[in-house]
Structure 1
Amino acid sequence: MRVTIAEVARRARVSKTTVSRVLNNKGDVDAATAIRVREVIAATGYTPSAGAVGLARGRTQTVGMLVPGLTWPWMGDVLQGVSDVLEARGYGLLLHTVNRGEQSLTQFQRHVSANAFDGLLLVEPPDTLSYITSLHEGGLPVVMIDDRGHHPGFPSVATSNDKGAADAAAHLLTLGRTRLAMVTGPAAFGCTRDRTAGFHGAAANAFDPALTAEGDFTRDGGQAAIEELLAKNVEFDGVFAHNDLMAVGVLDGLRAAGRTVPDDVAVIGFDDISIAEHTQPALTTVRQPSREMGEAAATMLLAHLAGETPPEEPLVVPTSLVIRESAPAV
């Protein structure tokens, strides 16, 4: 049975007139109500007649955002940066995750079909890049946050993964560390490749590629990786972990093995998530500017919606080294 405008109004708890105003992008419907109506339209598959609506992009005052999930430690900072910019400009945010895989993506596609947002911000979920690229090529403005080394054919905001890793290596060398180990993220990630290259290049002869173990960006993965390195019985006095959660696992593993940080081994992480300053000892880390990346991406997207030509190259927001007790300054 065909869904009617009356059914949409009933589910959205508004009048048919309000639904009609949302469909015709009238500016006198508040953002929260408009989003609710568009969510019902997407969920029910309601298709208005050609005479009932003029759904032109750029008039919903809503930005969509697609992310893998909300459990990544730095995702909250990204979202805060995005929302700060959007709220200041009078835009609403329609957030989608892919926690339920294809089911979640299908729901997102319904919102796309319903023209529920003017443009899209993206922290790329797995296996969605080709689909998002097709949306961009079809006219939907898109900005990616954290390109993970993929360098898509649309605007993106990234951070200086290679430079941040190089700064970590340089700091360990300044401390007089001469045998450096590294716990990497999964090899498929662009940030893993960039951080590996940056650290390797700056550490030079102090880094032995044999003292590398691959982790999975989790605390348990970091502990397993450092246990793998310890089992090689090859001495090292500094460790760079590709994110803070793995660095915390490295601290756990070193402590269990009777190694003292930083006296025996200095440890540096990457991200500067909230736990970093509360570890024992507090973690020296490379700060990834997550909130600033969200702000920059939202600003770029709104400028694109206003008619400005987006940059062809990724906008790089620089990292910075945060020195704490796990690798203190000399």
Structure 2
Amino acid sequence: MSITIADVAARAGVSKTTVSRVLNGKGELDLRTAERVRQVIAELGYVPSARAVGLARGRTRIVGMLVPSLTWPWMGEVLQGAVDVVESQGYGLLLFTFNRGEESMHQFASQVSAQSFDGLLVIEPEGTLTYIEQLHARGLPVVLIDDRAKRPQFPSVATTNRAGGESAARHLLELGRYRPLVITGVERFGCTHERLDGFRDTYAEAGIELDPELVFEGDFTHESGRRGVQYALEQRLAFDAIFAHNDLSAGGAIQAVRETGRNVPNDVSVVGFDDIPYAEHTEPPLTTVHQPMRQMGQAAARMLMGYFGGTPLPEDPQVLPTTLIVRSSTAPKPTARTRPAPKHRSH
């Protein structure tokens, strides 16, 4: 049978309240009494319930994390970043996904009501932002990761989506690529607009207006990258580069281009966005805009840990920079070769 707090109290000749005070370091206790209780705890091998101790302290020492799905390509990096920080501070992580829609949300709400965690990290499942804002307003500390340009009414960690689009454009312009096909992300996401605006404005500053027909709405999937290329070919639209709004669609685009017999990067250079591990293993390896996803998870978790330690949550978003990673899917546009003049034979 497991040893209980009552067993410790009986052996030490004190009340259960006294044992609880020793465990939680609360209240003034006679030193000899406290030492006797600790000795009995050691003799009996009593291990207190982490939840019971947490409730006694007013904390569960658990952080909740709500995410749309674990299948998103960069989700593992964010999770690992958050776990690195949370576990280093002696906290646990309680993970909730939104895979089953309303059923998932009801399950999550029941855990909120039960006060099962001290604070919440969120990668917003679509349509839940208002509810999360209400939780924060009622006193639950919340930090949003990847705000998708929504600028919520609570702390967040974001990245420079617009600057990422600008860096992709500058790179392609430097390579002499003046007619890019853009395969965007989901239209309703703010990050899609920021990446496109940064890319389009940088080309405009160079005196080049993007052809609206060469902007194809994708959905961040490998297949949408293929569809974007196929659409351009069917419409007989010439392009010498592709900017895809994530690495999966960039990989699909590379595959579709190569299937036409064209060369990547010489005929068509391709740039992605995210820098997930997959990007290093496309053929050729993908030039892409690196999002610091693990660092974003770490930064958000540090905000919560700081709050638990007495530091107020910041009012302004923490924004981490993107970085262009150049690999082999981009190269200077070959210059047109002039046909050499025929050599005259000497008589």
Separation in 1, partners of 2:298, 2:175:
35
- AA matched with 1:210: E
Identity, % of aligned positions = 51
- Alignment of 1:253 with 2:243, yes or no, is no
- AA matched with 2:184: T
In structure 1, the residue matched to 2:275 is: 272
The superposition leaves residues 46-86 of structure 1 with CA deviations (integer Å, 9 ceiling, x where unpaired) of xxxxxxx96785x1111110001100010000011001111
In structure 2, the residue matched to 1:232 is: 235
1:219/1:301 CA distance change after superposition, 3 Å = same
In structure 2, the residue matched to 1:99 is: 99
Deviation at 1:301, TM superposition (A): 1.4
Are the counterparts in 2 of residues 143 and 154 from structure 1 also a CA contact under 8 Å?
yes
In structure 1, the residue matched to 2:316 is: 313
1:131/1:179 CA distance change after superposition, 3 Å = same
In structure 2, the residue matched to 1:114 is: 114
Deviation at 1:17, TM superposition (A): 5.7
1:256/1:187 CA distance change after superposition, 3 Å = same
- Alignment of 1:244 with 2:247, yes or no, is yes
Deviation at 1:316, TM superposition (A): 0.6
Separation in 2, partners of 1:56, 1:227:
61
In structure 1, the residue matched to 2:299 is: 296
Deviation at 1:209, TM superposition (A): 2.3
1:17/1:104 CA distance change after superposition, 3 Å = farther
Q: What's the TM-score, normalizing by structure 1?
A: 0.84
Deviation at 1:329, TM superposition (A): 7.1
In structure 2, the residue matched to 1:147 is: 147
In structure 2, the residue matched to 1:85 is: 85
In structure 1, the residue matched to 2:12 is: none
1:277/1:27 CA distance change after superposition, 3 Å = farther
SS of equivalent to 1:321: strand
In structure 2, the residue matched to 1:43 is: none
Deviation at 1:257, TM superposition (A): 2.0
The CA RMSD over aligned residues, in Å, is 2.7
Q: What's the TM-score, normalizing by structure 2?
A: 0.80
In structure 1, the residue matched to 2:219 is: 216
Separation in 2, partners of 1:27, 1:105:
34
SS of equivalent to 1:207: coil
Deviation at 1:16, TM superposition (A): 7.7
Deviation at 1:27, TM superposition (A): 5.3
In structure 2, the residue matched to 1:184 is: 184
Deviation at 1:14, TM superposition (A): 7.3
Separation in 2, partners of 1:270, 1:164:
8
Deviation at 1:99, TM superposition (A): 1.1
Which runs of 5 or more residues in structure 1 are unaligned? 1-12, 39-52
Higher-Rg member (1/2) = 2
In structure 2, the residue matched to 1:7 is: none
Are the counterparts in 1 of residues 246 and 274 from structure 2 also a CA contact under 8 Å?
yes
Deviation at 1:93, TM superposition (A): 0.6
1:70/1:264 CA distance change after superposition, 3 Å = same
Are the counterparts in 2 of residues 55 and 115 from structure 1 also a CA contact under 8 Å?
no
Deviation at 1:203, TM superposition (A): 1.6
Deviation at 1:15, TM superposition (A): 7.7
Are the counterparts in 2 of residues 179 and 206 from structure 1 also a CA contact under 8 Å?
no
One of 290, 313, 323 as aligned partner of 2:326: 323
- AA matched with 1:216: D
Per mean C-alpha deviation after superposition, the further-off stretch among 270-279 and 306-315 is 306-315
Separation in 2, partners of 1:125, 1:295:
20
In structure 2, the residue matched to 1:137 is: 137
Deviation at 1:314, TM superposition (A): 1.0
1:268/1:15 CA distance change after superposition, 3 Å = farther
The superposition leaves residues 120-159 of structure 1 with CA deviations (integer Å, 9 ceiling, x where unpaired) of 0000001111111110000000000000111100000000
Deviation at 1:305, TM superposition (A): 2.3
SS of equivalent to 1:299: helix
Residues matched between the structures, number: 298
